[in-house]
Amino acid sequence: MLEQKIDCVADHADSPHPLHPVRPSELASLFDRLPAAQTRFLRDLGFEAKQGELQFLPGADGVAGAVLGLAEDRSPFVFGDLAYRLPAGTSWRLEPGDYDTASATLGFCLGAYRYTTLKSADRAPATLVAADQARSLSQARAIWMARDLINTPANLLGPVELAEFAAALGARYGAEVNIAAGDALVAGYPTVAAVGAGSARPPRVTTFRWRGSAAHADSPLVSLCGKGVCFDTGGYDLKPSAGMLRMKKDMGGAACVLALARMVMEADLPVRLAVRVGCVENSVSGTAMRPSDVLRTRKGLTVEIGNTDAEGRLVLCDLLADAAEEHPAVLIDYATLTGAARVALGPDLPALFCNEDAWAESVLRAGVDSHDPLWRLPLWRGYDPWLSSSVANLNNISSKPFAGSIVAALFLQRFIPADMAWIHIDLYAWNDQLQPGRPEGGEAQAIRALFGAIMQRTGGGT
């Protein structure tokens, strides 16, 4: 999964077919440029350049090219189903037009993805000839990697395998890597150890630190933390069977953190980067944590377990406390944390929580610019008392049946210094259905948005 060969893009090809992306306002100009027979063909078919409208152009020897309608869509996804709508084995070059070539290349790649580790694809994608698109291909590789991780069945990707993958990724880019296990894990990350105690597959925490070639000792430290629950039964508060069907994706936060880290390292941003991934399985056994247990966290706060299915915040709280000890310029975490966020925002919009308006605005703006949107929800202090416990400093669940994603974020905020910029992303990490550029299955959400914000805020360019 580290290599991620993007086989749908080539630097060159022999006689690739021309692909003309066009908006309605450009149709007259396109008709003037095309051979008269092809123009008559398009007019006879009533081609209007509607969004996603694809029409092949006839030639003496068969297909001579194609025209793609863009309407007013400027997202990568208008190019997102071309890899399998264009004939298998054919190659194509993009003709000039009112669109961004980098975005088109990224969209083409995102739509070409299929999870083929255990089952071959039904057919090969078409090939896009796109030279000098290093940034788009880097982002595509990162997203394919995250999708592969999320789509991998839990019996093939447990805590140890995920931890070793994270370590291998860091090592690939020359990072300093550490995997905490056994007594070191219990001492350093007691709540991670408690969540993983019920599984025969032991928990791990992988940490790696990397520095860009232009970074120095005082360069901004960007710290990333990811929830890597490789399968979540809910523990003693057992999920119903329907609720477990997609729980291999409960490590989606870790997958997105690793994808974002990969993009930062491949772009060689002038930052220091610290990555922490908590890798566990939440299972049921005689050694699993119980409702009403009290855990002592790395920070020293005690937590009463009100529900064993609220384990993600327990994984993250020790990671966040550890990361905060290094005083990063910004601390970012990703987690498939709450169903409440999906009830509020649906599957496509990750919830953004942030304690600093300037960072929040940068992330939201970058999300709009990159067509990788988020929606900000409040860290509403009025709900903070809902986490109270009679026997511990706080409970891991709310005493009220409302605002579940907000209360989960408030739990995490207890482990963040008040003066530290912190971004929490509660995401779904899954596509329920096939859409252009977004195949059904695991999805890397909000990583292009955060990458853009990190570049903008740390002097890494645009």
Maximum distance among all alpha carbons in the chain? 82
The stretch 15-43 carries a mean pLDDT of 97
**Is residue 134 assigned to a domain?**
no
Does residue 303 share a domain with residue 185?
Answer: yes
At 69, is the secondary structure helix, strand, or coil? strand
Does residue 149 share a domain with residue 95?
Answer: no
Q: Which of these is catalytic: 313, 414, 438, 448? A: 313
Report pTM.
0.97
Annotated catalytic residue 298: no
Q: pLDDT averaged over the chain?
A: 97
Provide the domain limits for residue 322: 139-458
110 token code pair: 């995102």
Please state, in angstroms and rounded to a whole number, the distance separating the CA atoms of residues 138 and 135: 5
Does residue 327 share a domain with residue 222?
Answer: yes
The stretch 415-419 carries a mean pLDDT of 97
Please state, in angstroms and rounded to a whole number, the distance separating the CA atoms of residues 275 and 437: 28
User: Is 248:154 a contact under the CB 8 Å cutoff?
Assistant: yes
Which pLDDT belongs to residue 200? 98
User: Is 187:300 a contact under the CB 8 Å cutoff?
Assistant: no
Task: Check residue 124 and report its DSSP letter.
Answer: P
CATH number of the domain at 14, please: 3.40.220.10
Does residue 158 share a domain with residue 107?
Answer: no
Please say if the pLDDT value at position 459 is more than 90.
no
Residue by residue, DSSP assigns 290-350 as: -TT-EEE-TTS-EEE-S-TT--HHHHHHHHHHHHHTT--SEEEEEE---HHHHHHHTTT--
Phi–psi pair at 340, nearest 5 degrees: -60, -35
The stretch 414-430 carries a mean pLDDT of 98
Domain-ending residue, one of 129, 151, 178: 129
Length of the chain measured in residues: 462
**What digits encode the pLDDT tens for the residues 5-24?**
899 999 888 899 999 999 99
The stretch 280-299 carries a mean pLDDT of 98
The residues pairing with 54 across neighbouring beta strands, listed in sequence order, are: 68
At 39, is the secondary structure helix, strand, or coil? helix
Q: Say which amino acid occupies 250.
A: D
Terminal Cα-to-Cα distance of the chain (whole angstroms):
28
CATH number of the domain at 293, please: 3.40.630.10
Does residue 168 share a domain with residue 277?
Answer: yes
The stretch 286-312 carries a mean pLDDT of 98
Which pLDDT belongs to residue 461? 59
Domain-ending residue, one of 104, 129, 154: 129
Domains identified in the chain, total number: 2
**Is residue 269 assigned to a domain?**
yes
Which pLDDT belongs to residue 356? 97
Please say if the pLDDT value at position 462 is more than 70.
no
Does residue 184 share a domain with residue 69?
Answer: no
**What digits encode the pLDDT tens for the residues 304-362?**
999 999 999 999 999 999 999 999 999 999 999 999 999 999 999 999 999 999 999 99
The stretch 439-454 carries a mean pLDDT of 98
Which pLDDT belongs to residue 12? 86
Annotated catalytic residue 248: no
Does residue 220 share a domain with residue 117?
Answer: no
**Is residue 2 assigned to a domain?**
no
- What sign does the CA torsion over 398, 400, 401, 403 have? negative
**Is residue 1 assigned to a domain?**
no
Does residue 150 share a domain with residue 85?
Answer: no
Does residue 96 share a domain with residue 156?
Answer: no
Domain-ending residue, one of 105, 129, 153: 129
Percent of the chain with pLDDT over 90: 95
Does residue 108 share a domain with residue 87?
Answer: yes
Does residue 28 share a domain with residue 125?
Answer: yes
- What sign does the CA torsion over 6, 10, 16, 21 have? positive
Please state, as a whole number, how many other Cβ atoms lie within 10 Å of the Cβ of residue 218.
7
Does residue 407 share a domain with residue 281?
Answer: yes
Please say if the pLDDT value at position 143 is more than 60.
yes
